[in-house]
Amino acid sequence: MLKEESTIEFGHSMRSQFLLDHDYIPLNHGSYGTIPKVVREALRKYQDRIEANPDKFIRRDLELELFKARETVAKFINVETNEIVFVPNTTTGINAILKSLKYEKGDKLLYFSTIYNSIKKLLNFISDTYDGKVELIKIEVTYPISDDDLIDKFVKVIKEEKQKPNTKIKLAIIDSISSNPGILVPFHRLIPILKQNDILSIVDGAHAIGQIPLDIKEIEPDFFVTNCHKWLYTPRGSAILYVPYKNQKNIHPTVTSPFLYQGFISEFSWIGTQDFSSYLSIHAALEFRQKIGGEEKIQNYCKKLAIEGGNLIASILGTEIIGPESIIQNMVNIRLPIPSSHKEFTDKKFLDLMFNKYNFAVAIFEHNEYWYIRASAQIYTDLNDFEKVGHIVKEICDSF
């Protein structure tokens, strides 16, 4: 049971609301998320309801239930209910967009070097499919870099590419919050630049909803995809694909629907039989967030903890975090005192120790010639977790 909102404190006591193992130190919410117990209850309730009479639920109730879930989340991110559909995850959503668009000779697709790996592979696939027609343009980013410098780089590349003959920059993929490193990207400022240059903006918002306030109407991207199963506390396999009315005609699910050409909402509402309960559990996730104090309280707690916790780990390791604080939200990136050139250290060895010996979780990656960890703050973590992980990671680093 939850206490009165005003008496709810975040940190270790919040673990009782989740299902995490007692001894596990979970500083990697960013990768797969996890759900509160009340959301699991809601999920199972929907599953039981469907099982009690699958035919009736699917043939009679599902459409309205999906509509209500879309309506609720649409209000939350300020879009119209019929501008969003559910997809299982961001990968699926971005695949639908990129594989639906048509490409012509000379088309260029822009992306940052920090793009999520599977989305980069998708760009490779598009470029291979349209062999000789489509060119991928990478904008190299190495952190630390200020937002202004990043934007200058972006503008410079657009200018240079536009000057070349017989080419058109068709689209750009930009992160809301990149994965490795986990950094808040100034996507609000990049979208207008794309608009001015007649370039489609596709926002990979995998980490956005629940981590940062979202007002999609205000930023007006051409496409936006966000995972509810990361930071919003819905069960895994629930994401939102936003496509404004003007762009809907040409966007289809990657798996062809029996409702092909019957409209964006219809097509995405059925791409074969599946369990829809994760999507419908969104009400429970939003109610839980409201009950524990709301978005601002959650977001402020996580940001403050990420900064303090990241600095604490860095001080234990004798290194630094990637700053400034303005680019940190719930995830913080801490340099390990180990260069990428180290002969013995590998991410596989680190993960083996992490799972088999120490029982904690962070993300690990290479950036700018060093190994880094990415630690996620969540309402069920506190400074003590970061301190423990700092000492464990030091022990691991010292062993190499």
Ligand X SMILES: Cc1ncc(COP(=O)(O)O)c(C=O)c1O
Sole window of 51-59, 62-70, 99-107, 175-183 interacting with ligand X (rule: CB under 6 A):
175-183
For ligand X, the binding residues in 128-157 under the rule CB under 6 A are none
Any contact of residue 331 with ligand X (CB under 6 A)? no
Any contact of residue 221 with ligand X (CB under 6 A)? no
Q: Which of 227, 228, 224, 207 is nearest to 215 (CA)?
A: 224
CB 268 within 8 A of CB 87: yes
For ligand X, the binding residues in 18-77 under the rule CB under 6 A are 31
**Which residues does 333 contact at the CB level (< 8 Å), separation at least 6?**
143, 181, 182, 183, 310, 321, 322, 367, 372, 373, 374
Q: Which of 164, 232, 244, 166 is nearest to 200 (CA)?
A: 244
For ligand X, the closer of residues 30 and 390 by Cβ is 30
Sole window of 69-77, 171-179, 283-291, 387-395 interacting with ligand X (rule: CB under 6 A):
171-179
Any contact of residue 116 with ligand X (CB under 6 A)? yes
| Smallest distance, ligand X to C-beta of residue 234, A | 11
For ligand X, the closer of residues 175 and 382 by Cβ is 175
Q: The tokens 């790996």 sit on which residue?
A: 117
Among 28, 90, 234, 333, binds ligand X (CB under 6 A): 90
Any contact of residue 223 with ligand X (CB under 6 A)? no
| Smallest distance, ligand X to C-beta of residue 372, A | 15
Query: Strands, DSSP E only, in the chain?
Result: 25-26, 84-87, 107-112, 134-139, 168-175, 200-204, 223-227, 239-242, 331-339, 360-361, 363-367, 370-376
For ligand X, the closer of residues 187 and 345 by Cβ is 187
Residue 165, judged by CB atoms within 10 A of its CB (0-12, 13-18, 19+), counts as exposed
Any contact of residue 360 with ligand X (CB under 6 A)? no
Question: What is the enclosing helix (H) or strand (E) of 105?
Answer: none
For ligand X, the closer of residues 91 and 311 by Cβ is 91
Any contact of residue 226 with ligand X (CB under 6 A)? no
What are 306's two structure tokens? 């990420």
For ligand X, the closer of residues 227 and 330 by Cβ is 227
Phi, psi of 273 (to 5 degrees): -65, 135
Among 206, 265, 286, 312, binds ligand X (CB under 6 A): 206
Any contact of residue 89 with ligand X (CB under 6 A)? yes
Q: Rg for the chain (alpha carbons), in Å? A: 22
# residues near ligand X by CB under 6 A = 13
Any contact of residue 174 with ligand X (CB under 6 A)? no
What are 81's two structure tokens? 């209910």
Among 135, 175, 267, 382, binds ligand X (CB under 6 A): 175
Regarding beta strands 134-139 and 168-175, do their DSSP bridges make them parallel or antiparallel, or are they unpaired? unpaired
Binding site for ligand X (CB under 6 A): 31, 89-91, 116, 119, 175, 178-179, 204, 206-207, 227
